[in-house]
Structure 1
Amino acid sequence: MVNNPSSGRQLKTLKTAFELVDIIQQQNGMSIESLAKEMDLAQSTVHGYVKTLTNTGYLVYEDGKYHIGLEFLNKGGYARTRKPEYDLIISKLEGLAEQTGERVQFIVEENGRGYYLHTSIGQNAVQVDAHIGKVVHLHASSAGKAILAHLSEDRVKQILNQWGTPAYTQHTITSDEGLLEELSTIRERGYSISDQESISGLRAIGAPIRSQSSGQPLGAISLSGPAHRLKGEWFEQEIPDIVLAVVNEIELDLEYQ
């Protein structure tokens, strides 16, 4: 029995299938001819993968191209609600978005990256690419940094070694040393700040939601908005207090549910 999920033999055919799916998603649909050229594979080989994925619902053929199929939504919907804690957390976020008028996200860490599980939109929220299922590096967002701050140092280093610290904007913290210092500050302060680190012109406040039994982060919520609106006392004091109050309520509810 293999206990370490990172050990053991990888299946090249399965890896190729997922690479094919990733390319189709990135290109918003592709033909077999384009896929074969992009992947440097024979068209007959690509046809075999595409036919299998289409017959199982993971791809769909429309307008001369293959696109991501809704079977992924079936699996994603299950993954999103697999842990019962997520439903309780998500149920609290609509009120936070309504209270502040801004955008509120719930992000969790899996395999060293951040996944958007929910977004609530306030009446003044700006439109950004924060769709459910979006994958991000943890170091570049307030919610991601809030999660990293409450993982073990060994786990943080493992994540940084695996995924690096690419620059999303000129304000992104890209050095391991600088990030570790920031994580220490977050632990002391109780919340994280992103000052245009993931998207230019966008600021955010994030805070972890932690298991009362283990102390490990179940995920983190963040509230984001344009820098010209999130400033001064509103950004430095009032929003952190509001976010932390919601987190405290969520953690109490999780403990006694």
Structure 2
Amino acid sequence: MKNRPVYGIQSVDHALRLAALLAQEGPLRLSEAAERLGVARSTAHRLLAMLVYRDFAEQREDRRYVAGPVLRRVEAPEPVTELRRIALPHLQALTEAIDETTNLIVVVGDQARFVASAEGTQVLRVGDRAGRVLPAHLASGGRAVLATLDEDRVRALYGRAGSPVADVDALLRDLRRVRRRGFAVNDRKTETGVTAIGAAIPAPTAGGVAARAALSIALPTARYRRDRLPEWVARLTTTAERIAHELVDDQA
């Protein structure tokens, strides 16, 4: 039996209850959400807006809210606790070195899920992305992981009806370039004013969650400079290799 925490935070409780309702019971109207929580419509609207922002919810054309990408499981994800534990200190060290936000990403199906972030300190910076979900074929870390896959697997993933990719051959050509270069760049494809550089974490084994993980550096496009790209890529790939080595040692 679970007891309500003595110092429970009501707004957090409301948001978690809403997320559970969307995942378990399906679409909700704003008025229904307010009624279920016993709060004013304005309060329910603010809670739903935050769930939408963090990809726990989406609003359909009929104005009803449904479970977002974070709550919709394309396939059963493997635990990322150990990967996150090992990677986070390396992310923090990388952020300290370059003072830009860095991220740990795991690709699940055609989604790039942000597992952890280390945020830079500059006034103009990319915020913490933990918990966000982006299309894998657009996100820098997602494309870096997709580039490690067999092309037949990529075709199977994106060649289906209703695929978000209209031209799979063009995607494969792009992934070949990513594979040759060892990194991917997402220049404002998923968010205006944000550029990201991603590199896959070398998989210590043929399978497992580490085989689908990547790191990225995200920065304001205004601060992105091509002449610094070799430095950023070198730091990124070195960090990814260190994480891979530590994963191997952890499994030994």
TM-score range, shorter chain: 0.5 to 0.7
In structure 1, the residue matched to 2:221 is 227
1:88 has 2:89 as partner: no
Check 1:119–1:16 CA distance in 2 against 1; reply closer, same or farther (3 A cut).
closer
> Aligned-pair distance for 1:180?
0.7
Question: Aligned letter for 1:62?
Answer: V
Seq. identity, %? 23
Deviation larger for 101-110 or 126-135: 126-135
In the alignment, the residues of structure 2 paired with residue 253 and residue 184 of structure 1 have an alpha-carbon distance, to the nearest angstrom, of 28
Return 5+ residue gaps in structure 2 as ranges.
Answer: 1-20, 57-69, 72-76
Counterpart among 105, 109, 112 of residue 111 in structure 1:
109
> Aligned-pair distance for 1:164?
2.9
Check 1:240–1:213 CA distance in 2 against 1; reply closer, same or farther (3 A cut).
same
Q: What root-mean-square deviation, in Å, do the aligned CA atoms of Structure 1 and Structure 2 show?
A: 3.4
In the alignment, the residues of structure 2 paired with residue 156 and residue 130 of structure 1 have an alpha-carbon distance, to the nearest angstrom, of 29
In structure 2, the residue matched to 1:200 is 192
Higher relative contact order (CA 8 A, sep 6+): 2
In the alignment, the residues of structure 1 paired with residue 111 and residue 219 of structure 2 have an alpha-carbon distance, to the nearest angstrom, of 22
Deviation larger for 195-204 or 247-256: 195-204
In structure 1, the residue matched to 2:31 is 31
**What secondary structure is seen at the aligned counterpart in 2 of 1:212?**
coil
Output one character per residue of 1:76-102: Cα deviation in whole Å (capped at 9) or x when no partner: 9xx896542221012211111111111
> Aligned-pair distance for 1:175?
2.9
> Aligned-pair distance for 1:221?
0.8
Check 1:213–1:231 CA distance in 2 against 1; reply closer, same or farther (3 A cut).
same
1:1-257 to 2 correspondence within 5 Å?
17=24, 19-20=26-27, 30-32=30-32, 60-64=37-41, 66=44, 82-124=80-122, 126-128=124-126, 131-161=129-159, 164-165=163-164, 175-214=167-206, 217-235=211-229, 237-257=230-250
**What secondary structure is seen at the aligned counterpart in 1 of 2:105?**
strand
Question: Aligned letter for 1:19?
Answer: G
Q: How many residues align?
A: 201
**What secondary structure is seen at the aligned counterpart in 1 of 2:212?**
strand
> Aligned-pair distance for 1:198?
1.8
**What secondary structure is seen at the aligned counterpart in 1 of 2:83?**
helix
Output one character per residue of 1:1-58: Cα deviation in whole Å (capped at 9) or x when no partner: xxxxxxxxxxxxx9984532xx67xxxxx221x89xxxxxxxxxxx8xx5xxxxxxxx
> Aligned-pair distance for 1:127?
4.9
Output one character per residue of 1:160-205: Cα deviation in whole Å (capped at 9) or x when no partner: 2456336xxxxxxx63222111111111111111222222332221
Question: Aligned letter for 2:139?
Answer: S
Check 1:153–1:19 CA distance in 2 against 1; reply closer, same or farther (3 A cut).
farther
Question: Aligned letter for 1:89?
Answer: A
Check 1:232–1:197 CA distance in 2 against 1; reply closer, same or farther (3 A cut).
same
In the alignment, the residues of structure 2 paired with residue 152 and residue 159 of structure 1 have an alpha-carbon distance, to the nearest angstrom, of 11
Question: Aligned letter for 2:220?
Answer: P
Deviation larger for 212-221 or 197-206: 212-221
- The structure having more radius of gyration, on CA atoms, is 1
Output one character per residue of 1:97-150: Cα deviation in whole Å (capped at 9) or x when no partner: 111111111111123311111111111274557542212111111111011111
Check 1:186–1:196 CA distance in 2 against 1; reply closer, same or farther (3 A cut).
same
Question: Aligned letter for 1:204?
Answer: A
TM-score scaled to structure 2, two decimals?
0.67
